[in-house]
Structure 1
Amino acid sequence: MALKEHLREARNRLFKSAIAVLAATVLGFFVYEPVLRALAAPIIAINEQEGRTASLNFDSAASPFDLLIQVSVFLGLVLSSPVWLYQLWAFITPGLKTKERRIALAFIAVAFPLFLAGIWLAWLILPNAVRVLTEFTPEDFSNYISVSVYFAFVLRLMLAFGIAFLLPVVLVGLNMVGVVSGKQILKAWRITVFLVCLFAAMAAPGGDALSMFYLAVPLLLLFFVAIGLCLLNDKRRARRTAAREAAVDATADTATPLDAL
């Protein structure tokens, strides 16, 4: 494909992705209030169930509009993700070989559900994380939380969990391209466990033990599953290499007929 055609293809794919994001953002505008109430539910529950004072507050006249735009755009990106991911895939595919295409498709098929699983887990622990963090408020004090700060906290929590769930996929990918072997990863399991726990401590907003636990345990499970897949891939690669070498040796040992010379 010529450079001009390549740029035209990129422009068309980008335009379709932008239209999808824009349409989904408009939809996000209409579901903004239910989503806002769902995300604010942990704060509301503190008042209703525990009798402690906690509320979300806008700190400027423009804050409500700013939050509306931010949440709508975020929802637009999430809701339109199948469209723009497909456009990205369709743009990359022509430059890949058949085997590379299958591998890339397999990674996308695994990575997207894992990312969603990480976000879902973050959603599950959000109420407990908010409750634990607000329990540090001294008596006779109240939590008047900025809405923008609170939703930045929620977004950071969900993105941290989602991205963390992709790390084992990256590990398997590095193994498949030959950068690292399964045995090398297995030898470093103690360091990896420490790094996972350290990452969980840093990624969990507020550093509460509950968020760290819920993030570290699934990551460690995924890590050891990734080790198993890497070891299996190493065995398959070793068998293919042995078979190829045996075929070369057999060809070299075969006598060439005199009439073929």
Structure 2
Amino acid sequence: MRRTRPTLVDVTDAELSTHLRANIVAYKQFQTARGALRHLGLPGLWAFAQPSHPETVSQQQVFFEDAGALEAALPRLEDFYRSHGVRLWRVLVPPGHSTVEQPLARAGYRPEGGGTTAMGMSLGDAELVPPGIALEELRTQEELIPVNVEAFGPGTSIHLQPWHSESFPHIHIRGVREHGQLLAGGLAHDVGDVAGLYLVATLTAARGRGLATEVMRGLLLDAHHRGRTVAVLQATELGYGVYRRVGMRDLGSWVNWVCRLSAARAG
């Protein structure tokens, strides 16, 4: 099986984490421009609120550049979420940012859940294996929605509906179809020289056949051919092994620090 020739480009875990944050923020800003998601942008900080689902903490997300930017923004964050009727939200804290924990705790935030695993790779120093099966290029992400909902639950589709049936030049979608049905798929969101990978999923009945691995191989190789030099994603527990098999490395867990307003404080 032919592989692309590595060029040995060194990218640190910290650099990959920065690329991941920037790609996610751009992805969410794109959603904000076309749907119900709301955005607060401050120096070194980006917050997103989904007022249509105020009790879904996964949809209320804050990303920050450094501890100073986050601490300075904490009062504004509460005002932002309160103004949209949202009473709980989360700050995603990557590895190496432990200095934000004390100011978050003082402001009433608490760590919840096991966090989200960040992953990434340099496409220049990887041996990219072409997919062993034919992948279909999908025009829009419309067909990815039911696959993701079946795989991960209905909350997956909350932020997708406003733009799921349109095509965009910076979004590249691949899937595996059998007898007319899409069994697995995913997309790459290009920002600069970085491809962020999202919505990679396989129908339950089609698992165990390596289809997600083939989709990932196709997404990574296509991104390399488009001139992207880095690929990044947030991994679910279900997909972690797939991403490791195609060469992505674990960048550590982004811990959720959650603020929950009491009834008195929310009023």
TM-score computed with the length of structure 2 as normaliser: 0.24
Structure with greater helix percent: 1
Structure showing greater radius of gyration is 1
Structure with greater strand percent: 2
TM-score computed with the length of structure 1 as normaliser: 0.24
Specify which structure has the bigger relative contact order, considering alpha-carbon pairs within 8 angstroms and separated by 6 or more residues: 2
